[in-house]
Structure 1
Protein backbone atom coordinates (compact mmCIF):
# COMPACT_ATOMS: atom_id res chain seq x y z
CA UNK A 1 0.00 0.00 0.00
CA UNK A 2 1.31 3.40 -0.95
CA UNK A 3 -0.30 6.76 -0.22
CA UNK A 4 0.15 9.63 -2.64
CA UNK A 5 -0.77 12.03 0.14
CA UNK A 6 -1.97 12.05 3.73
CA UNK A 7 -3.69 15.11 5.19
CA UNK A 8 -4.73 15.41 8.82
CA UNK A 9 -7.40 18.03 9.40
CA UNK A 10 -7.95 19.20 12.97
CA UNK A 11 -10.89 21.35 13.94
CA UNK A 12 -11.05 22.88 17.44
CA UNK A 13 -14.47 24.23 18.33
CA UNK A 14 -14.27 26.93 21.01
CA UNK A 15 -17.82 28.31 21.02
CA UNK A 16 -21.14 27.42 19.45
CA UNK A 17 -24.56 29.06 19.48
CA UNK A 18 -23.23 32.15 21.22
CA UNK A 19 -21.72 30.16 24.12
CA UNK A 20 -18.20 29.21 25.04
CA UNK A 21 -17.82 25.44 25.26
CA UNK A 22 -17.91 24.01 28.77
CA UNK A 23 -15.91 20.99 27.59
CA UNK A 24 -13.43 20.81 24.70
CA UNK A 25 -14.48 19.62 21.27
CA UNK A 26 -11.98 18.50 18.66
CA UNK A 27 -12.80 16.88 15.34
CA UNK A 28 -9.95 15.15 13.52
CA UNK A 29 -9.96 13.57 10.06
CA UNK A 30 -7.02 11.67 8.59
CA UNK A 31 -7.39 11.62 4.81
CA UNK A 32 -5.37 9.26 2.64
CA UNK A 33 -5.13 9.46 -1.14
CA UNK A 34 -4.51 6.06 -2.73
CA UNK A 35 -4.37 4.62 -6.21
CA UNK A 36 -7.56 2.71 -7.07
CA UNK A 37 -6.41 -0.69 -8.40
CA UNK A 38 -9.85 -1.26 -9.93
CA UNK A 39 -10.19 2.09 -11.73
CA UNK A 40 -10.99 1.96 -15.46
CA UNK A 41 -11.43 -1.82 -15.34
CA UNK A 42 -14.46 -3.89 -16.15
CA UNK A 43 -16.92 -4.13 -13.26
CA UNK A 44 -15.70 -6.45 -10.50
CA UNK A 45 -17.50 -8.60 -7.97
CA UNK A 46 -14.45 -9.65 -5.92
CA UNK A 47 -13.55 -6.70 -3.70
CA UNK A 48 -10.97 -8.49 -1.55
CA UNK A 49 -8.07 -6.38 -2.88
CA UNK A 50 -9.84 -3.15 -1.93
CA UNK A 51 -10.95 -4.52 1.45
CA UNK A 52 -7.37 -5.53 2.29
CA UNK A 53 -6.15 -2.12 1.12
CA UNK A 54 -8.68 -0.40 3.39
CA UNK A 55 -7.53 -2.34 6.46
CA UNK A 56 -3.86 -1.44 5.92
CA UNK A 57 -4.72 2.19 5.13
CA UNK A 58 -7.17 2.31 8.04
CA UNK A 59 -4.46 1.34 10.52
CA UNK A 60 -2.19 4.16 9.33
CA UNK A 61 -4.98 6.76 9.18
CA UNK A 62 -6.38 5.74 12.57
CA UNK A 63 -2.96 6.15 14.20
CA UNK A 64 -2.53 9.60 12.61
CA UNK A 65 -6.00 10.77 13.61
CA UNK A 66 -5.74 9.55 17.21
CA UNK A 67 -2.33 11.20 17.60
CA UNK A 68 -3.87 14.51 16.49
CA UNK A 69 -6.83 14.01 18.84
CA UNK A 70 -4.63 13.56 21.94
CA UNK A 71 -4.85 14.30 24.79
CA UNK A 72 -8.61 13.98 24.28
CA UNK A 73 -10.07 10.50 24.19
CA UNK A 74 -12.31 9.56 21.25
CA UNK A 75 -16.01 9.87 21.99
CA UNK A 76 -17.27 9.30 18.45
CA UNK A 77 -16.04 8.15 15.08
CA UNK A 78 -16.94 8.18 11.42
CA UNK A 79 -15.52 7.27 8.03
CA UNK A 80 -15.94 8.25 4.42
CA UNK A 81 -14.58 7.73 0.94
CA UNK A 82 -14.62 9.55 -2.36
CA UNK A 83 -13.92 7.38 -5.40
CA UNK A 84 -12.43 9.15 -8.41
CA UNK A 85 -14.53 9.26 -11.57
CA UNK A 86 -12.76 6.30 -13.22
CA UNK A 87 -13.97 4.13 -10.34
CA UNK A 88 -17.21 2.63 -9.10
CA UNK A 89 -19.20 3.57 -5.99
CA UNK A 90 -18.91 -0.05 -4.83
CA UNK A 91 -15.11 0.31 -4.76
CA UNK A 92 -15.55 2.89 -2.01
CA UNK A 93 -18.30 0.96 -0.24
CA UNK A 94 -16.03 -2.08 -0.01
CA UNK A 95 -13.38 0.07 1.64
CA UNK A 96 -15.55 1.61 4.36
CA UNK A 97 -18.27 -0.96 5.05
CA UNK A 98 -16.42 -4.28 5.32
CA UNK A 99 -13.36 -4.23 7.62
CA UNK A 100 -11.84 -0.75 8.09
CA UNK A 101 -13.92 -0.45 11.26
CA UNK A 102 -11.75 -3.12 12.88
CA UNK A 103 -8.70 -0.86 12.63
CA UNK A 104 -10.68 2.09 13.96
CA UNK A 105 -12.18 0.12 16.87
CA UNK A 106 -8.82 -1.37 17.81
CA UNK A 107 -7.09 2.03 17.82
CA UNK A 108 -9.86 3.76 19.76
CA UNK A 109 -10.76 0.76 21.92
CA UNK A 110 -14.28 1.20 20.59
CA UNK A 111 -17.23 -1.04 21.11
CA UNK A 112 -19.95 -2.61 19.02
CA UNK A 113 -21.80 0.50 17.79
CA UNK A 114 -22.03 0.84 14.02
CA UNK A 115 -19.51 3.37 12.63
CA UNK A 116 -21.33 5.78 10.30
CA UNK A 117 -19.91 5.82 6.79
CA UNK A 118 -20.47 7.85 3.64
CA UNK A 119 -19.31 7.09 0.08
CA UNK A 120 -19.57 8.87 -3.25
CA UNK A 121 -17.96 9.15 -6.68
CA UNK A 122 -16.65 12.64 -7.45
CA UNK A 123 -13.80 14.69 -8.85
CA UNK A 124 -10.85 16.43 -7.20
CA UNK A 125 -11.58 18.86 -4.41
CA UNK A 126 -15.11 17.59 -3.72
CA UNK A 127 -16.11 17.84 -0.04
CA UNK A 128 -17.60 14.97 1.91
CA UNK A 129 -19.52 15.10 5.18
CA UNK A 130 -18.20 12.71 7.82
CA UNK A 131 -20.93 11.70 10.25
CA UNK A 132 -19.88 10.82 13.80
CA UNK A 133 -21.57 8.24 16.00
CA UNK A 134 -20.79 7.00 19.50
CA UNK A 135 -18.03 4.46 20.07
CA UNK A 136 -20.06 2.17 22.28
CA UNK A 137 -23.64 3.34 21.87
CA UNK A 138 -25.35 4.23 18.58
CA UNK A 139 -27.92 6.20 20.62
CA UNK A 140 -25.28 8.45 22.27
CA UNK A 141 -26.72 11.79 21.17
CA UNK A 142 -23.72 13.77 22.46
CA UNK A 143 -21.46 11.92 19.99
CA UNK A 144 -23.68 12.61 16.96
CA UNK A 145 -21.88 15.28 14.98
CA UNK A 146 -20.59 16.07 11.48
CA UNK A 147 -17.37 17.33 9.94
CA UNK A 148 -16.98 18.45 6.33
CA UNK A 149 -13.66 17.40 4.77
CA UNK A 150 -12.04 18.28 1.45
CA UNK A 151 -8.56 17.61 0.06
CA UNK A 152 -7.56 19.90 -2.83
CA UNK A 153 -6.64 17.95 -5.96
CA UNK A 154 -7.97 14.64 -4.69
CA UNK A 155 -9.15 12.22 -5.72
CA UNK A 156 -7.88 12.13 -9.29
CA UNK A 157 -10.01 9.90 -11.59
CA UNK A 158 -7.93 6.78 -10.81
CA UNK A 159 -7.67 7.45 -7.05
CA UNK A 160 -9.57 6.98 -3.83
CA UNK A 161 -9.72 9.47 -0.97
CA UNK A 162 -10.24 7.49 2.26
CA UNK A 163 -11.18 9.34 5.47
CA UNK A 164 -11.01 8.12 9.08
CA UNK A 165 -12.30 10.60 11.67
CA UNK A 166 -12.67 10.88 15.44
CA UNK A 167 -14.54 13.24 17.75
CA UNK A 168 -12.90 14.24 21.02
CA UNK A 169 -15.28 15.49 23.66
CA UNK A 170 -18.94 15.89 22.72
CA UNK A 171 -20.76 17.71 19.96
CA UNK A 172 -20.26 21.43 20.71
CA UNK A 173 -22.51 22.44 23.62
CA UNK A 174 -24.51 19.21 23.32
CA UNK A 175 -27.56 19.39 25.55
CA UNK A 176 -30.45 17.48 23.95
CA UNK A 177 -31.68 14.32 25.60
CA UNK A 178 -32.97 11.39 23.62
CA UNK A 179 -34.94 8.32 24.47
CA UNK A 180 -33.40 5.71 26.74
CA UNK A 181 -32.58 2.28 25.28
CA UNK A 182 -35.64 0.89 27.07
CA UNK A 183 -37.89 3.57 25.51
CA UNK A 184 -36.43 2.87 22.06
CA UNK A 185 -37.03 -0.87 22.49
CA UNK A 186 -40.65 -0.19 23.49
CA UNK A 187 -41.30 2.07 20.48
CA UNK A 188 -39.77 -0.53 18.12
CA UNK A 189 -41.92 -3.23 19.75
CA UNK A 190 -45.04 -1.10 19.17
CA UNK A 191 -44.08 -0.30 15.57
CA UNK A 192 -43.47 -3.98 14.81
CA UNK A 193 -46.68 -4.95 16.55
CA UNK A 194 -45.03 -7.49 18.84
Structure 2
Protein backbone atom coordinates (compact mmCIF):
# COMPACT_ATOMS: atom_id res chain seq x y z
CA UNK A 1 0.00 0.00 0.00
CA UNK A 2 1.29 3.46 -0.93
CA UNK A 3 -0.02 6.90 0.07
CA UNK A 4 -2.37 8.30 -2.58
CA UNK A 5 -0.84 11.76 -2.76
CA UNK A 6 -2.59 14.49 -4.75
CA UNK A 7 0.04 17.18 -4.28
CA UNK A 8 2.80 18.68 -2.19
CA UNK A 9 2.72 22.35 -1.13
CA UNK A 10 5.67 24.29 0.26
CA UNK A 11 5.62 27.39 2.44
CA UNK A 12 8.71 29.53 3.11
CA UNK A 13 9.03 32.83 4.92
CA UNK A 14 12.19 34.83 5.56
CA UNK A 15 12.03 37.34 8.39
CA UNK A 16 14.44 40.18 7.54
CA UNK A 17 13.23 42.90 9.92
CA UNK A 18 11.47 42.60 13.27
CA UNK A 19 10.46 45.53 15.46
CA UNK A 20 12.04 47.91 12.96
CA UNK A 21 15.45 46.32 13.51
CA UNK A 22 17.21 44.07 10.95
CA UNK A 23 17.26 40.39 11.82
CA UNK A 24 20.87 39.23 11.83
CA UNK A 25 20.84 36.53 10.69
CA UNK A 26 17.44 36.43 8.98
CA UNK A 27 15.04 33.77 10.22
CA UNK A 28 13.72 31.23 7.74
CA UNK A 29 10.61 29.21 8.54
CA UNK A 30 9.84 26.45 6.03
CA UNK A 31 7.05 23.91 5.83
CA UNK A 32 5.98 21.11 3.53
CA UNK A 33 2.37 19.93 3.31
CA UNK A 34 1.17 16.71 1.71
CA UNK A 35 -2.42 16.37 0.51
CA UNK A 36 -3.37 12.70 0.42
CA UNK A 37 -6.43 10.52 0.27
CA UNK A 38 -7.66 9.44 3.69
CA UNK A 39 -7.16 5.65 3.61
CA UNK A 40 -9.94 5.12 6.16
CA UNK A 41 -12.58 7.41 4.63
CA UNK A 42 -15.77 5.70 3.47
CA UNK A 43 -15.08 2.51 5.41
CA UNK A 44 -17.20 3.19 8.45
CA UNK A 45 -15.60 2.89 11.87
CA UNK A 46 -12.26 1.09 11.52
CA UNK A 47 -11.20 -0.46 14.81
CA UNK A 48 -7.57 -1.24 13.98
CA UNK A 49 -5.64 1.56 12.25
CA UNK A 50 -2.27 -0.13 12.54
CA UNK A 51 -2.05 -1.78 9.10
CA UNK A 52 -2.35 1.58 7.35
CA UNK A 53 -0.07 3.28 9.88
CA UNK A 54 2.64 0.71 9.27
CA UNK A 55 2.19 0.84 5.51
CA UNK A 56 1.87 4.61 5.01
CA UNK A 57 3.59 6.51 7.83
CA UNK A 58 7.19 5.52 6.99
CA UNK A 59 6.75 6.34 3.29
CA UNK A 60 5.23 9.71 4.18
CA UNK A 61 7.92 10.55 6.71
CA UNK A 62 10.77 9.68 4.37
CA UNK A 63 9.39 11.54 1.35
CA UNK A 64 8.29 14.62 3.25
CA UNK A 65 11.59 15.08 5.08
CA UNK A 66 13.48 14.62 1.82
CA UNK A 67 11.46 17.48 0.34
CA UNK A 68 11.46 19.70 3.44
CA UNK A 69 15.10 19.87 4.44
CA UNK A 70 16.41 21.55 1.26
CA UNK A 71 14.03 24.45 1.95
CA UNK A 72 16.37 25.52 4.76
CA UNK A 73 18.93 26.32 2.05
CA UNK A 74 21.79 24.63 3.86
CA UNK A 75 21.22 26.30 7.23
CA UNK A 76 20.81 23.83 10.14
CA UNK A 77 17.32 23.63 11.59
CA UNK A 78 16.89 24.70 15.21
CA UNK A 79 13.13 24.20 15.63
CA UNK A 80 10.50 21.79 14.32
CA UNK A 81 6.80 20.89 14.41
CA UNK A 82 4.02 18.98 12.66
CA UNK A 83 0.27 18.91 12.04
CA UNK A 84 -2.61 16.99 10.49
CA UNK A 85 -5.92 18.33 9.17
CA UNK A 86 -8.55 15.73 8.32
CA UNK A 87 -11.33 16.39 5.82
CA UNK A 88 -14.87 16.34 7.14
CA UNK A 89 -15.55 12.71 6.11
CA UNK A 90 -12.78 11.50 8.40
CA UNK A 91 -11.93 11.39 12.08
CA UNK A 92 -9.27 13.48 13.80
CA UNK A 93 -7.89 10.09 14.82
CA UNK A 94 -7.08 9.38 11.18
CA UNK A 95 -4.70 12.33 10.98
CA UNK A 96 -3.30 11.55 14.41
CA UNK A 97 -2.61 8.00 13.30
CA UNK A 98 -0.23 9.19 10.60
CA UNK A 99 1.73 11.81 12.56
CA UNK A 100 1.75 10.41 16.10
CA UNK A 101 3.93 7.41 15.41
CA UNK A 102 7.68 6.99 15.56
CA UNK A 103 7.40 5.49 12.08
CA UNK A 104 6.66 9.04 10.85
CA UNK A 105 8.26 11.38 13.37
CA UNK A 106 11.66 9.73 13.57
CA UNK A 107 12.45 10.79 10.01
CA UNK A 108 12.21 14.43 11.04
CA UNK A 109 14.03 13.86 14.33
CA UNK A 110 16.90 12.10 12.56
CA UNK A 111 17.14 14.86 9.96
CA UNK A 112 17.71 17.51 12.65
CA UNK A 113 19.64 15.30 15.11
CA UNK A 114 16.99 15.39 17.81
CA UNK A 115 15.39 12.94 20.20
CA UNK A 116 12.83 15.48 21.48
CA UNK A 117 9.05 15.53 21.39
CA UNK A 118 7.75 17.21 18.20
CA UNK A 119 5.03 19.79 18.95
CA UNK A 120 1.84 19.43 16.95
CA UNK A 121 -1.76 20.25 16.20
CA UNK A 122 -4.42 17.96 14.78
CA UNK A 123 -7.95 18.87 13.77
CA UNK A 124 -10.73 18.45 11.21
CA UNK A 125 -11.53 21.09 8.60
CA UNK A 126 -12.43 21.92 5.03
CA UNK A 127 -10.67 23.44 2.03
CA UNK A 128 -8.68 26.55 2.85
CA UNK A 129 -8.59 25.75 6.55
CA UNK A 130 -5.67 27.40 8.31
CA UNK A 131 -2.66 25.10 8.62
CA UNK A 132 -1.35 26.35 11.95
CA UNK A 133 1.14 24.54 14.15
CA UNK A 134 3.82 25.32 16.73
CA UNK A 135 7.56 24.91 16.51
CA UNK A 136 9.95 24.37 19.41
CA UNK A 137 13.70 23.95 19.79
CA UNK A 138 15.00 20.60 18.57
CA UNK A 139 16.94 19.90 21.79
CA UNK A 140 15.96 22.56 24.36
CA UNK A 141 12.22 22.33 24.89
CA UNK A 142 12.16 25.25 27.33
CA UNK A 143 13.88 27.70 24.99
CA UNK A 144 11.12 30.29 24.55
CA UNK A 145 13.09 32.02 21.80
CA UNK A 146 12.14 29.12 19.54
CA UNK A 147 8.41 29.10 20.34
CA UNK A 148 7.28 29.89 16.79
CA UNK A 149 4.17 29.31 14.71
CA UNK A 150 3.77 28.21 11.10
CA UNK A 151 0.60 29.37 9.35
CA UNK A 152 -0.57 29.06 5.75
CA UNK A 153 -3.43 27.46 3.82
CA UNK A 154 -4.23 25.46 0.70
CA UNK A 155 -7.35 26.78 -1.04
CA UNK A 156 -8.55 23.39 -2.34
CA UNK A 157 -7.55 21.12 0.54
CA UNK A 158 -8.41 19.11 2.42
CA UNK A 159 -11.31 17.70 0.43
CA UNK A 160 -13.80 15.67 2.51
CA UNK A 161 -11.92 12.40 1.92
CA UNK A 162 -8.42 13.85 2.24
CA UNK A 163 -5.86 14.55 4.94
CA UNK A 164 -3.25 17.30 5.01
CA UNK A 165 -0.05 16.31 6.76
CA UNK A 166 2.52 19.09 7.27
CA UNK A 167 5.93 19.36 8.88
CA UNK A 168 8.01 22.46 9.45
CA UNK A 169 11.39 23.74 10.58
CA UNK A 170 13.00 27.05 11.48
CA UNK A 171 16.64 28.06 11.19
CA UNK A 172 16.63 29.95 14.46
CA UNK A 173 14.50 31.56 17.10
CA UNK A 174 12.52 34.79 16.99
CA UNK A 175 14.69 37.71 15.94
CA UNK A 176 15.72 39.79 18.96
CA UNK A 177 14.23 37.28 21.44
CA UNK A 178 14.64 38.79 24.91
CA UNK A 179 12.10 37.30 27.33
CA UNK A 180 14.36 34.66 28.83
CA UNK A 181 13.39 31.01 29.01
CA UNK A 182 12.03 28.38 31.32
CA UNK A 183 15.47 27.58 32.66
CA UNK A 184 16.30 31.18 33.61
CA UNK A 185 12.86 31.49 35.23
CA UNK A 186 13.51 28.42 37.37
CA UNK A 187 16.87 29.78 38.49
CA UNK A 188 15.41 33.20 39.34
CA UNK A 189 12.49 31.69 41.23
CA UNK A 190 14.84 29.82 43.53
CA UNK A 191 15.81 33.20 44.99
CA UNK A 192 12.60 35.21 44.52
CA UNK A 193 10.24 34.52 47.40
CA UNK A 194 7.61 36.92 46.00
CA UNK A 195 6.87 34.56 43.08
CA UNK A 196 5.87 31.54 45.08
CA UNK A 197 5.70 31.30 48.88
CA UNK A 198 8.30 29.01 50.38
CA UNK A 199 6.88 25.78 51.85
CA UNK A 200 6.10 26.11 55.55
Tell me how far 1:132 sits from its aligned partner: 0.1
Q: 1:154 aligns with which of 136, 153, 157?
A: 157
Partner of residue 62, structure 1 = 65
Q: TM-score, normalised by structure 2?
A: 0.86
Gaps of 5+ in 1: none
Gaps of 5+ in 2: 191-195
* Contact 1:97 1:117 (C-alpha < 8 Å) held by counterparts: no
Tell me how far 1:27 sits from its aligned partner: 0.5
Partner of residue 75, structure 1 = 78
Tell me how far 1:17 sits from its aligned partner: 1.8
Instruction: Identify if the C-alpha distance between structure 1 residues 25 and 34 changes in structure 2 by more than 3 Å, giving closer, same or farther.
Output: same
Moved over 4 A (4+): none
Q: TM-score, normalised by structure 1?
A: 0.88
> In structure 2, what is the Cα distance between the partners aligned to 1:127 and 1:82?
9
Q: CA RMSD in A?
A: 2.2
> In structure 1, what is the Cα distance between the partners aligned to 2:32 and 2:74?
17
Partner of residue 134, structure 1 = 137
> In structure 2, what is the Cα distance between the partners aligned to 1:9 and 1:166?
11
> In structure 1, what is the Cα distance between the partners aligned to 2:172 and 2:146?
8
Deviations 1:8-45 (Å, cap 9, x if unpaired)?
11111111122211222001110001111101222223
Corresponding pairs, count: 188
> In structure 1, what is the Cα distance between the partners aligned to 2:109 and 2:47?
27
